[in-house]
Amino acid sequence: MKRLPRGVGVLAIVSIAVLYLPLVAVMALSFNATRHGQSWGGFTWSWYAKLFNNEAVLNAATNSAIVAVTSTSLATVIGTLLAIGLRRLPLGRWGRTSADVIINLPTVTPDILLAAALVVAYGIFRSVVAHFSPESKFFDPGLTTLIIGHVTFQVSFVAVVVGARLKAIGNEQFEAARDLFASTWGVWRRIILPQLAPGIVGGALLAFTLSLDDFVVSFFISGPSSTTLPVLIYASVKRGVTPEIHALSTLIVALTMIAILSIAILNRPRMTKE
Amino acid sequence: MKSTLVIDGKPTNRLRLWLSGLGLVGAGLLWLSCFLIGPLLALSLLAFASRGDYGDIIWQFNLENVWRMVGFGTFGWVPDNLLIIGRSVVLATITTSLCLALGFPLAFWIADRDRRWRVLLIAIVMVPACVNLVIRTYAWQLILGNHAPPAVFAQWAGFIPADAALYPGQAAVYLGMISAMLPFAVLPLYTSVERLDWSVVEAARDLYGGPWRTFRHGILAQVTPGLIAATILTLIPSLGMFVVSDLLGGAKYMLVGNLIQQQFGAAADWPFGAMLGLGLVVASLVSLLILLRWGSREGRI
C-alpha cells in the first residue's frame, strides 16, 4: 500500500501497550489476594466484597452519582437550548466569533484555572450572601458547589456536540416541512428532535463521563462531607493505597468503557456514512 | 428598520429572532457569565490584591505578587518560583514533542489499516484517555513499585539500590505525562494523516527527495493543521498539570500546577495563587503564539 517504514508498526503497538499497561496493572492487582506489595498471592474477589461494606466508598459513590446525574440533567437542558438558540440569533461576524469563543472557553481553559476561579467566586458569593442572610450555607463547599462547577464545564461540551448535529441536519428539512404546512412545534417535535436526539444523548453521555471523571475541579471545591470517587481515590493513594482502591478503580474503568462504547455506537451511523 | 427574513422556512424579522434566540440562550448565557466569565475576571483582579494575616483578602491593588512570582521576597531574590515555572514549561514542551514523535507513527499506522479497523483502533487509543487520570497515574506507581518487574530488573542490573522503587523521579513523571497526553496528540494527527494526498509524497520521491525531505515537504506541510491541534491539546493541559507530578514526582518535583494548588490549599494565599494562574495563562498564550506563527510559516512552504 503506502509502504510505511518497518519500525512504524512496532512503535505503534508499543505505544498502545503503554496506554493500556496501567489499566491492566490496576485490574490485575484488584484480584490479587496479597494485601501489601505487588507479588501475586492468588485470585480473590474479596476486595470487591469489602468495597460494598466500606462506608467511605459508598458515601463517595453516592455523592458522585448525585453530582453526575444532577449536573448532567441541568447541563443537557441548558447546553441544548444554547445550541438551538445560537443558531437563531442574527449575530454579525463579530457576534458569531465572540459567541464561539465563549462556548469554547471551558474546553480550552486548564482545569486548574477553572477550579481556582470557582474557589474565588464562591468565596465572593459567600460574603455577598452573608450580608443578606448570615445563616445561608448555599455556597459553602458541598454538593451544591460541586454541581454548579460541573455544569459550568459540561454546558460547553453539550452545546458543541448538539450544535454539530444541528448543523448536520441542515435547513432544507425545516423548509420542506414548512412547505407542507407544519407548525413550528410540529417541525421540532416530528422532524428535528427525533434527528437531534442522538446528539443530545451523546452530549449528555459525554457530560456524564466528564463529571464522573473530574478530579481537579472537584478536588478544589468539594468539602469534607462531599467527597467524590476520584477525590477519595486520590486521598487513599496519598495515604497508601489498598487493594480495595484497585477494585474501586477497576469498576470505574469498566463503567467508563461502557459509557465510551455507548457514545461510539450512538455516533456510528454518521461515521460510516461517508 | 424592519427587514423580512426567512429562517427555517418561516418569515420573521430581526426583533423576533433576537427575542426567541435570547429566550433560548438566556439560561446558558447567564450561567456562563456567573460561573465562568465572572469568576475568571475575579481571578485576574484578585491576582493584584494581597493576603491578610489570617488568609483573608485585602482588596488593595499593587504589583507585589508579580515581584513575588519572579522571586523577590522578604529575604531578597530567590529563584525557586522561576525554577518551578521554567521546569513546567520545559516539561510541557518535551512532553508535547515526545507525544508528537510517538503520535505520528501511531497515526500513520492506524491510517494504513482497513476502514473497519481504523475506527476500532482510534476508539482503542481514546478509551484510556477517558479513564480517570488519578487512576492511570497511581497505576504507574504500581508498575514502577519496588517489587514490580521493572524495578526488580533495574535493581538486578545495578541501576538503582536494592529494594528501591523507580519513582518518585523525573523519568516517572515523563512516563506518566506521555501516557496521559498521547491520545490527545494521536486523534488530531490521525484526522490529518487520513486525508493525506499520497501523490504529493510520491512526487517528492520521484524528484529524488531523501527520506527527510520527503517527510518535511511531502508530508509535514500537509498535516500542519493536525500538528497545530495536537500541540494545543497536549501543551495546554501539560502546562497546568498537577496530578502526575504530585503522584510520580515527589515533593522535590514541583510544577506550577502544584504551586497553585498549594496557594489554594495549605498556604491559603489566594491572591498569589491567582497571580500564578495568570502566569500560567501568559505562558500558554506565548507558547501557542510562537507555535502558531511557526505553523503558518511551515504551511506556506
ipTM of predicted complex: 0.84
Best A14, A15, A250 residue to mutate vs chain B (most B CBs within 10 Å) = A15
pLDDT at A273: 42
Inter-chain touch A90–B14, beta carbons under 8 Å: yes
How far A267 CA lies from chain B's nearest CA (Å)?
11
Q: B18 vs A152: CB contact, 8 Å cut-off?
A: no
Q: Is A90 an 8 Å CB contact of chain B? A: yes
pLDDT at B300: 47
Suggest the residue from A120, A183, A257 to mutate for an interface test with chain B (most B CBs closer than 10 A). A120
Euclidean distance between CA atoms B73 and B80, whole angstroms = 11
pTM, 2 dp: 0.85
pLDDT at B9: 66
Provide CB contacts within 8 A for B259, sequence distance 6+.
Answer: B81, B84, B276
Q: Which CATH class is domain B72-300?
A: mainly alpha
- pLDDT for B1: 47
Beta strand B10-12 with B50-51 is unpaired
Q: Do A110 and B240 touch (CB under 8 A)?
A: yes
Q: How far apart are CA A257 and CA A23, in angstroms?
A: 11
Q: Is A40 within the bounds of a domain?
A: no
pLDDT tens string B225-244: 888 888 888 998 898 898 99
Residues paired with residue B161 on neighbouring β-strands, in sequence order:
none
Q: Is the pLDDT of residue A208 over 60?
A: yes
Give chain A's radius of gyration (CA, Å): 23
- The angle at the Cα of A155, spanning A152 to A160, to the nearest 5 degrees, equals 140
Confidence at residue A274, expressed as pLDDT on a 0 to 100 scale = 41
- The pLDDT of residue A121: 92
Q: Do A108 and B25 touch (CB under 8 A)?
A: no
Asked whether residue A73 is domain-assigned, the answer is yes
Q: A218-267: per-residue pLDDT in tens?
A: 999 988 888 999 999 999 988 888 888 889 999 988 988 888 888 777 76
Q: Would residue A62 be called left, alpha or beta, if left means φ above 0 and alpha means ψ between -120 and 50 degrees?
A: alpha
Q: In chain B, which stretches have pLDDT less than 50?
A: 1, 300-301
SS3 label, residue B6 = strand
Any residues with CB less than 8 A from the CB of B300 and at least 6 apart, and which?
A: none
Q: Cβ contacts (< 8 Å) between B179 and chain A: which residues?
A: 18-19, 21-22
Domain range for residue A216?
55-273
| Residue A37 within any structural domain of the chain | no
The answer to the question of residue A19 being in a domain is no
Closest CA to A152 of A221, A93, A85: A221
User: Cβ separation of B131 and A213 shorter than 8 Å?
Assistant: yes
Q: Which three cell numbers stand for residue A166?
A: 444541528
**How many structural domains comprise chain A?**
1
Min CA distance, B293 vs chain A (Å)? Answer: 19
State the nearest Cα–Cα gap between B182 and chain A, in angstroms: 8
The tally of CA atoms less than 13 A away on the side-chain side of residue A50 is 15
Q: Among residues of chain A, what percentage have pLDDT more than 90?
A: 33
Q: What is the pLDDT of residue B40?
A: 92
A197 in a structural domain: yes
Residue A272 has pLDDT above 70, yes or no: no
Residues with Cβ within 8 Å of B227's Cβ and at least 6 positions away in sequence, in order, are: B100, B188, B189, B192, B220, B295
Which chain B residues have a beta carbon less than 8 Å from that of A15?
A: 102-103, 105-106, 182
Q: Specify if A59 maps to a domain.
A: yes
* Residue B225 to chain A, least CA–CA distance (Å): 17
Judging contacts by C-beta atoms under 8 Å, the chain A residues touching residue B281 are 113
State yes or no: pLDDT of A182 exceeds 60: yes
Cross-chain Cβ contact B182/A15 below 8 Å: yes
Contact A83, A156 (CB under 8 A): no
What is the pLDDT, as a whole number, of residue A268?
Answer: 64
A203: domain CATH number is 1.10.3720.10
Residues A118 and A152 sit within 8 Å (Cβ to Cβ): yes
**Which residue in B43, B51, B132 has the most chain A C-beta atoms within 10 A of its own C-beta, making it the best mutation to test that interface?**
B132
Is the residue at A169 inside a domain? yes
List, for residues A84-106, the tens digit of each pLDDT value: 888 878 777 888 888 888 888 88
Under a CB-based contact definition with an 8 Å cutoff, are residues B134 and B243 in contact? yes
